[in-house]
């Protein structure tokens, strides 16, 4: 079993099914977690953590080449760790003691330095037989009360030094009045300076003596540090690797709670991409010397899947440049198993729309450079770096098409158009893009209907009939814009076809219901109490009209692509106008250029953010809403790299 | 004088209106005769305390602890009203310093909770309801600290910081929080003292010094007596733990601290205070007698020339005594503690037509 777990760890791409959620699990045939072994791994991890901390090991974590075999590797880890601890512990103890001794001496020197101005002779003080003496710090405001409170006993408060809010004092009294002095000092918030007994000579002599000891102590501490450094270099990789292995082993052990077990036989069930199944099977058969049964089952044959108890998890499998957009798809939902995975469409349309709305060579270049920096330096945000780079390239391409570099439109010629000068054409193009995206939405919805065998919606507003009606209306619109008003024959034909399509949309649901009721009656079932046919027809009419309005609104919504491109150009005009005003006042000096730079930064940040939000809105509401149902379950591999760490 | 009149006319009218709303002897009489806490609260809800008591009644919280919180809110409301209309920064500093008494009490509760490992929810009923106008200490951050040491570090930049650092070493040595509590009180009285001497106008300062010194003397005498005869600490400790400020000298306080019993202590008091305190048999009796003496002194601020800060300070301190008396009376009702009202409420509040205060004071404004 342990070897099999190692193989599963190596393959990584396995989404375990929790056996306790299945019938077998409900009967109690679950494997459970081997708590003894888990405790041993916990101890190992604790020891490694302590060593890593003490040796001050930092740095990149080496990648694991092979997953551990938990119940075999623990022996190796414990033995190796004990060996390292044996070698290192002496050095660590010596280092700790040296550091402690050094700190203690330095602290004593600093305490004694407070008494420095009086240069007290400790030898003479130690000879005092009838007088008690103590040193400490007193809040300055408490001095008058302290003096008065000691007025009934023989005492002396000698000020050694003072600053604005505290005194360093030496307090003397007769031995018989020691209690009174101590009570008074305590209540006056006197903080005693702890002086070790047995000191000989004056304060300066003692400090001198202690300072002479310092180099030896420092050398000792330095030696211990060097020794520690050598151990650090020697064991760094081994300890970090062992920590990774122990984490991974722990994860694999914990995963056993999802396994099934009958006597000495384990049952491991899970989802994995079909193409890696043969390799996994071979590896397991080899490791167990044929004493395993590895079977693949079509999801359709699994009763739990059919009954909806178990959902097939979805593994996003997109190329590197598309992968970052998976996050945007996931924000909307996880596609179900048979649905089209829409990330690739989202990625392409996102980049295209961003370029159109934010087209400028300079700004695109800035975005690309920022993205490249994020991609190379900030590993955690690599995905955002890729998105920024792609959007940057798209902006640059459209910048060339618009002939715009940092808003200046006379450096390079516009290959296609200037958005501000050709507004109508640009708006029409935006609408064409909208027609294209909505049409793609219809096509994907029809594909989803076929894949999920949901044929009953085929003739609805979201199905083939709705799509045909939309294309008919869109075609008429495009025909009108490009070649003028349609001929009467064309209008007649369009009216006839659209009437038929509308009629189908209206009657398809009532007809379906009537047919179903008939079928049920034929089988002897009494039909369920539900809506009457009349109200159903009225509802269908309203739905059909609503769909037509929605088609129109969805398409017009894409005009915003042009609107934001115009806003982008208008903001440039604003920035140049402000810079010119500055230049009129103080010439084309630093103020002018600062305004231009500041303005461009504001445009990149503000406009960049607004454009992104608008594109996401278009993607979600106008595109995804046509075909994407979601409700799927994300694929969770047995071992995620971040979980291991 | 014209300047002072311009400065104080509005504030004076406002303060005297607030002062006129204090409980009348007849109110105290009825409150004393109520049979239980609900009846007490019902009557109180028909007085100037109505807004706060109705809130308490609607929240159905009739416990002693909640009563104290709600009724003190009335005092804080007066503080806020005066702070809003106060003309000078130095005068504002003094009023804020007076309010710091409650901030200091809250700070002690927080530190006590941290010291004993209690959670905020366990002691929140004990905290005075102060807002940003009355306290600027970072209480929310204090509650997030793990230990007393961390809390003291957080307070390092506040007025309490240096003294608390010294007190912390005593907490470590003595294993109790007492030094920290003393340190907080001492800092508070130092703040009051410096705020009083920071008042620039001579007339304001004279009137304020008289009221505040009397207040500090009363607190100090009761404090020394309690430390000596209740806690049993030595004379030198009692002196060092006494509060700065007031008219009593350090020598005078030391001689009080050295008194062997309460009667000896009373005999050592300055003449005016001694006459008021004579006859007190225990510390609550002494406190009641001194509060009465203090109230008489404070009511003098409302007579004669009206445009000075002493009026506001006297009103706030008198209101505090009224609120504390109310709390004592309510607690006596709640615990069925059978003591005559005169032992719970200063006599001057119970008598009508008093020669020094009385209703005539209101007309003076």
Please spell the DSSP secondary structure of B167-182, one letter per residue.
HHHHHHHHSSSHHHHH
Contacts of A150 in chain B (CB under 8 A): 236
Confidence check: pLDDT of A8 > 90? no
Q: Is the CB of B237 less than 8 angstroms away from the CB of A183?
A: yes
DSSP one-letter code for A174:
E
Q: pLDDT tens, B261-311?
A: 999 999 999 998 999 999 888 998 999 999 999 999 888 888 878 888 889
Confidence check: pLDDT of B189 > 90? yes
State the average pLDDT for chain A. Answer: 87
Task: Determine which of A112-121, A215-224, B172-181, B331-340 has the lowest per-residue pLDDT on average.
Answer: B331-340
Angle between helices B310-334 and B202-229 (to 10 degrees): 30
So what's the pLDDT on residue B314? 93
Contacts of B182 in chain A (CB under 8 A): 187
So what's the pLDDT on residue B362? 35
Under DSSP, is residue A302 helix (H, G, I), strand (E, B) or coil? coil
So what's the pLDDT on residue A526? 65
Confidence check: pLDDT of A632 > 60? yes
Q: Look up the ipTM and state it.
A: 0.83
Task: Determine which of A31-40, A150-159, A362-371, A551-560 has the lowest per-residue pLDDT on average.
Answer: A31-40
b/e map A320-350, b = 16+ CB within 10 Å: eebbbbbebbeebbbbbeebbbbbebbbebb
So what's the pLDDT on residue B354? 47
Contacts of B167 in chain A (CB under 8 A): 189
- Measured between alpha carbons, how far is residue A602 from residues A362, A567, A575, A590, B84 in Å? 14, 13, 10, 18, 42
Residue A83 and residue A74: Cα distance in Å, rounded?
Answer: 14
Task: Determine which of A76-90, A428-442, A534-548 has the lowest per-residue pLDDT on average.
Answer: A534-548
Beta-carbon contacts of A112 under 8 Å, excluding residues fewer than 6 positions away, are A195, A203, A206, A207, A210
So what's the pLDDT on residue B351? 73
DSSP one-letter code for B131:
-
Beta-carbon contacts of A259 under 8 Å, excluding residues fewer than 6 positions away, are A19, A30, A31, A266, A267, A268
Confidence check: pLDDT of B226 > 90? yes
Contacts of B240 in chain A (CB under 8 A): 142, 145-146, 149, 184, 187-188
pLDDT > 90 in chain A, percent: 31
Q: Is the CB of A187 less than 8 angstroms away from the CB of B236?
A: yes
Q: Is the CB of A189 less than 8 angstroms away from the CB of B183?
A: yes
So what's the pLDDT on residue A423? 86
CATH 3.30.70.2750 boundaries in chain A: 120-201
So what's the pLDDT on residue A644? 42
Confidence check: pLDDT of A293 > 80? yes
Q: Is the CB of B254 less than 8 angstroms away from the CB of A142?
A: no
Task: Determine which of A40-49, A128-137, A189-198 has the lowest per-residue pLDDT on average.
Answer: A189-198
Confidence of residue A12 (pLDDT cuts 50, 70, 90): confident
- Measured between alpha carbons, how far is residue A366 from residues A51, A307, A344, A393 in Å? 45, 53, 25, 10
Residue B346 and residue B289: Cα distance in Å, rounded?
Answer: 7
The CB-based long-range contact list for A365-371 (8 Å cut-off, 24+ gap) reads A365/A392, A365/A396, A366/A392, A366/A600, A366/A604, A367/A391, A367/A392, A367/A395, A367/A604, A367/A608, A368/A392, A368/A393, A368/A396
**What's the token pair of residue A581?**
């005003």
**What's the token pair of residue A262?**
């009958």
**From the candidates B234, B236, B256, B257, which should be mutated to test the interface with A, based on the most A CB atoms within 10 A?**
B236
**What's the token pair of residue B185?**
């009180």
Confidence check: pLDDT of B76 > 90? yes
So what's the pLDDT on residue B359? 36
Task: Give the residue-averaged pLDDT of A104-125.
Answer: 87
Confidence of residue B64 (pLDDT cuts 50, 70, 90): low
Q: Where are the beta strands (DSSP E) in A85-230?
A: 131-139, 155-163, 166-174, 191-192
Give me the CATH code for the A120-201 domain, please: 3.30.70.2750
Beta-carbon contacts of A226 under 8 Å, excluding residues fewer than 6 positions away, are none
Task: Give the residue-averaged pLDDT of B332-354.
Answer: 72
Question: pLDDT higher for A46 or B6?
Answer: A46
Confidence of residue B212 (pLDDT cuts 50, 70, 90): very high
Closest to A184 in 3D by CA, of A210, A147, A159, A218: A147
Residue A392 near residue A364 (C-beta atoms within 8 A): yes
Contacts of A189 in chain B (CB under 8 A): 163, 166-167, 169-170, 179, 183
User: Which residue from A minimizes the CA distance to B251?
Assistant: A148
Residue B26 and residue A428: Cα distance in Å, rounded?
Answer: 87
| A142 in contact with B, Cβ within 8 Å | yes
Question: pLDDT higher for A462 or A638?
Answer: A462
Alpha helical stretches, state H, A333-487: 343-357, 361-377, 382-402, 423-451, 464-483
Q: Is the CB of A145 less than 8 angstroms away from the CB of B240?
A: yes
So what's the pLDDT on residue A64? 75
Residue A309 and residue A312: Cα distance in Å, rounded?
Answer: 10
Residue B186 near residue B243 (C-beta atoms within 8 A): yes
Closest in A165, A188, A191 to B240, CB measured: A188
Confidence check: pLDDT of B51 > 60? yes
Task: Determine which of A630-634, B270-274, B303-307, B361-365 has the lowest per-residue pLDDT on average.
Answer: B361-365
Q: Is the CB of A141 less than 8 angstroms away from the CB of B190?
A: yes
Confidence check: pLDDT of A234 > 80? yes
Task: Determine which of A37-51, A369-383, A631-645, B301-315 has the lowest per-residue pLDDT on average.
Answer: A631-645
Residue A579 near residue A595 (C-beta atoms within 8 A): yes
Closest to A575 in 3D by CA, of A362, A367, A390, A412: A362
Residue A458 and residue A12: Cα distance in Å, rounded?
Answer: 40
Q: Which of residues 437-496 of A touch B (CB under 8 A)?
A: none
Under DSSP, is residue A408 helix (H, G, I), strand (E, B) or coil? strand
b/e map B51-76, b = 16+ CB within 10 Å: ebbeebbeeeebeeeebbbbbbbbbb
So what's the pLDDT on residue B356? 42
Size of interface A-B (CB pairs under 8 A): 59
Q: pLDDT tens, A236-288?
A: 888 999 998 898 888 888 888 888 878 778 888 888 888 888 988 898 888 88
Confidence check: pLDDT of B68 > 80? yes
- Measured between alpha carbons, how far is residue B64 from residues A274, B110, B337 in Å? 72, 20, 13
Confidence of residue A460 (pLDDT cuts 50, 70, 90): confident
**What's the token pair of residue A36?**
């003894």
Residue B92 near residue B83 (C-beta atoms within 8 A): yes
Question: pLDDT higher for B60 or A618?
Answer: A618
Question: pLDDT higher for B190 or A21?
Answer: B190
So what's the pLDDT on residue A527? 59
Contacts of A146 in chain B (CB under 8 A): 240
| A139 in contact with B, Cβ within 8 Å | yes
Q: Is the CB of B242 less than 8 angstroms away from the CB of A145?
A: yes
Residue found under tokens 């004592």: B328
Confidence of residue A305 (pLDDT cuts 50, 70, 90): confident
Confidence check: pLDDT of A200 > 90? no
Residue B212 and residue B318: Cα distance in Å, rounded?
Answer: 11
DSSP one-letter code for A63:
P
**What's the token pair of residue B89?**
């920064």
Closest in B167, B170, B240 to A149, CB measured: B240
So what's the pLDDT on residue A484? 85
Confidence of residue B1 (pLDDT cuts 50, 70, 90): low
Residue B115 and residue B123: Cα distance in Å, rounded?
Answer: 13
Task: Give the residue-averaged pLDDT of A75-92.
Answer: 91
Residue A459 and residue A500: Cα distance in Å, rounded?
Answer: 12
Confidence check: pLDDT of A435 > 90? yes
């Amino acid at each position: 079993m342990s070897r099999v777990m190692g193989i599963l760890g190596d393959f990584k791409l396995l989404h375990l099914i929790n056996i306790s959620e299945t019938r077998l699990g409900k009967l109690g045939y679950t494997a459970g977690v081997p708590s003894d072994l888990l405790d041993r791994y916990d101890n190992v991890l604790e020891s490694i953590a302590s060593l890593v901390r003490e040796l001050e090991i930092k740095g990149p974590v080496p990648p694991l080449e092979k997953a551990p075999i938990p119940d075999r590797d623990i022996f190796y880890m414990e033995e190796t760790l004990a060996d390292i601890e044996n070698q290192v512990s002496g050095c660590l103890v010596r280092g700790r003691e040296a550091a402690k001794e050094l700190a203690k001496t330095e602290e004593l020197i600093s305490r004694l330095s407070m008494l420095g101005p009086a240069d007290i002779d400790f030898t003479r003080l130690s000879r005092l037989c009838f007088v008690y003496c103590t040193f400490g710090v007193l809040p300055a405001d408490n001095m008058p009360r302290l003096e008065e409170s000691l007025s009934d006993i023989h005492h002396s408060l000698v000020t050694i030094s003072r600053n604005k809010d505290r005194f360093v004092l030496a307090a003397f009294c007769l031995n018989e009045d020691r209690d009174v002095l101590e009570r008074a000092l305590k209540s006056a918030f006197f903080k005693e300076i702890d002086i070790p007994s047995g000191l000989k000579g004056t304060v300066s002599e003692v400090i001198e003596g202690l300072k002479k000891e310092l180099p030896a102590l420092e050398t000792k501490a330095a030696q211990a540090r060097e020794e520690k450094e050598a151990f650090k270099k020697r064991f760094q990789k081994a300890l970090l690797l062992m920590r990774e292995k122990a984490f991974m082993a722990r994860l694999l052990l914990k995963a056993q709670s999802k396994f099934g077990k009958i006597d000495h036989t384990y049952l491991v069930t899970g989802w994995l991409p079909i193409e890696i199944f043969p390799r996994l099977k071979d590896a397991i058969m080899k490791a167990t010397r044929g004493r395993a049964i590895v079977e693949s089952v079509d999801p359709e044959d699994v009763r739990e899947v059919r009954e909806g108890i178990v959902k097939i998890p979805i593994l996003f499998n997109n190329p590197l440049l598309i992968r970052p957009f998976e996050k945007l798809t996931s924000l909307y939902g996880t596609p179900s198993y048979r649905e089209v995975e829409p990330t690739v469409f989202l990625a392409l349309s996102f980049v295209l729309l961003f370029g159109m709305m934010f087209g400028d060579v300079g700004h695109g270049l800035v975005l690309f450079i920022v993205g490249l920096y994020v991609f190379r330096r900030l590993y955690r945000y690599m995905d955002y770096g890729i998105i920024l780079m792609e959007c940057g390239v798209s902006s640059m391409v459209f910048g060339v098409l618009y002939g715009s570099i940092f808003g200046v439109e006379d450096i390079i010629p516009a290959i296609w158009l200037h958005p501000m000068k050709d507004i109508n054409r640009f708006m029409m193009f935006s609408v064409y893009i909208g027609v294209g995206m909505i049409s793609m939405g219809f096509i994907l919805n029809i594909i989803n209907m076929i894949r999920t065998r949901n044929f009953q919606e085929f003739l609805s507003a979201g199905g083939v009939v709705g799509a045909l009606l939309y294309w008919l209306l869109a075609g008429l619109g495009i025909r009108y814009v490009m070649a003028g008003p349609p001929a009467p024959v064309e209008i007649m034909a369009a009216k006839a076809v659209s009437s038929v399509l509308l009629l189908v949309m209206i009657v398809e649901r009532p007809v379906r219901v009537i047919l179903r009721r008939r079928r049920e009656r034929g089988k002897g079932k009494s039909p369920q109490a539900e809506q009457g046919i009349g109200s159903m027809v009225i509802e269908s009419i309203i739905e059909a009209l609503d769909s037509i309005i929605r088609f129109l609104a969805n398409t017009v919504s894409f005009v915003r692509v042009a609107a934001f491109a115009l806003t982008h150009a208008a903001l440039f005009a604003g920035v140049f106008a402000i810079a010119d005003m500055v230049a009129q006042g103080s010439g084309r000096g630093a103020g002018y250029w600062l305004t231009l730079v500041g303005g461009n930064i504001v445009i990149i940040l503000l406009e960049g953010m607004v454009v992104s939000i608008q594109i996401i809105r278009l993607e979600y509401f106008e595109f995804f809403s046509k075909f994407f149902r979601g409700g799927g379950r994300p694929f969770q591999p047995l071992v995620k790299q971040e979980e291991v760490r | 004088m014209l300047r002072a009149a311009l400065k104080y006319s509005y504030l004076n009218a406002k303060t005297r209106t607030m002062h006129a709303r204090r409980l009348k002897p007849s109110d105290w009489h009825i409150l004393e005769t109520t049979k239980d806490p609900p009846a007490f609260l019902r009557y109180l809800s028909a007085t100037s305390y109505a807004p706060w008591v109705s809130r308490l009644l609607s929240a159905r919280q009739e416990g002693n602890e909640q009563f104290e919180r709600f009724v003190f809110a009335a005092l804080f409301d007066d503080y806020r009203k005066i702070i809003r209309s106060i003309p000078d920064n130095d005068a504002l500093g003094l009023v804020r310093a007076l309010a710091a008494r409650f901030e200091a009490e809250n700070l002690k509760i927080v530190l006590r909770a941290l010291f004993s490992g209690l959670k905020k929810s366990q002691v929140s009923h004990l905290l005075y309801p102060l807002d940003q106008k009355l306290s600027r200490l970072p209480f929310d951050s204090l509650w997030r600290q793990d230990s007393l040491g961390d809390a003291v570090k957080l307070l390092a930049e506040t007025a309490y910081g240096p003294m608390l650092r010294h007190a912390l070493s005593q907490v470590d040595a003595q294993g109790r929080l007492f030094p920290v509590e003393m340190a907080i009180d001492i800092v508070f009285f130092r703040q009051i003292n410096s705020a009083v001497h920071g008042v620039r106008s001579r007339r304001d300062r004279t009137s304020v010094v008289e009221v505040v010194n009397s207040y500090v003397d009363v607190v100090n005498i009761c404090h020394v007596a309690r430390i000596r005869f209740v806690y049993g600490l030595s004379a030198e400790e009692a002196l060092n733990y006494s509060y700065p400020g007031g008219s009593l000298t350090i020598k005078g306080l030391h001689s009080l601290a050295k008194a062997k019993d309460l009667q000896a202590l009373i005999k050592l008091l300055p003449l005016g205070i001694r006459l008021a305190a004579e006859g007190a048999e225990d510390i609550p009796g002494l406190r009641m007698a001194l509060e009465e003496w203090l109230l008489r002194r404070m009511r003098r601020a409302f007579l004669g020339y009206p445009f000075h800060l002493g009026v506001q300070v006297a009103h706030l301190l008198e209101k505090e005594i009224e609120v504390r008396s109310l709390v004592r009376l309510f607690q006596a009702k709640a615990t069925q503690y059978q003591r005559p009202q005169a032992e719970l409420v200063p006599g001057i509040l119970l008598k009508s037509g008093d020669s020094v205060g009385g209703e005539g004071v209101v007309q003076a404004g």
